Amino acid sequence: MARWCPSPNFGPRPDGASISLLVVHNISLPPGQFGGPEIEDFFCNRLDHAAHPYFETIAGMQVSAHALIRRDGSVVQFVSLLERAWHAGRSSFRGEEECNDYSIGIELEGADDIPYSPEQYRALAEITGIVMAAWPEITPDRLTGHCDIAPGRKTDPGPAFDWSYYKSELSTVLNAMELA
């Protein structure tokens, strides 16, 4: 179950937009540090930019994600999956521009080069299974990283993200859902 922490950084999806992509991201604030309230504060436009030198570099940015998976696997939801979260920026997937219009963005509390926890992979697989059941256009080949939709601009979820492990966890979840 996700904890609700509403972000003001969202909008309606364009008319006719079909939810058909899931994008995996990572975030840590300050970079490489975990467990604090800063990610939630950032997504809710209440980050104290004077609290850390890095925060000054992101002052004025208005971003969000549909959900954040903390290191312990707990989930914080910021935007309804039906709405357009501001997670991808300028992006393209297989020639289709503006991925925010048709994607769901899931942030992992982490950094490109720090391994993610088993609890995060499990939670991500569970969320992915629920999303895939609700939006069948999201198939395993439409699960992607931020680095793949904004190459040269973004690097997350980074080389520490184990796509094979994630897909294995997802397979377990999908098999269990079929049995239910």
Residues tagged active-site: 107
**Any residues with CB less than 8 A from the CB of 53 and at least 6 apart, and which?**
none
What span, in angstroms and rounded, lies between the C-alpha atoms of 173 and 128? 9
Omega before residue 14 within 30° of 0, cis: no
Sign, Cα dihedral of 120, 122, 127, 128 = positive
Q: Is the preceding omega at residue 30 within 30 degrees of 0, hence cis?
A: yes
The rounded distance, in Å, linking the Cα atoms of 110 and 130 is 23
Q: For the chain, where are the alpha helices, taking DSSP H only?
A: 38-43, 53-57, 118-134, 146-149, 163-179
* Rounded distance between C-alpha atoms, residue 180 and residue 172, angstroms: 13
Taking the alpha carbons at both ends of the chain, their separation in whole angstroms is 18
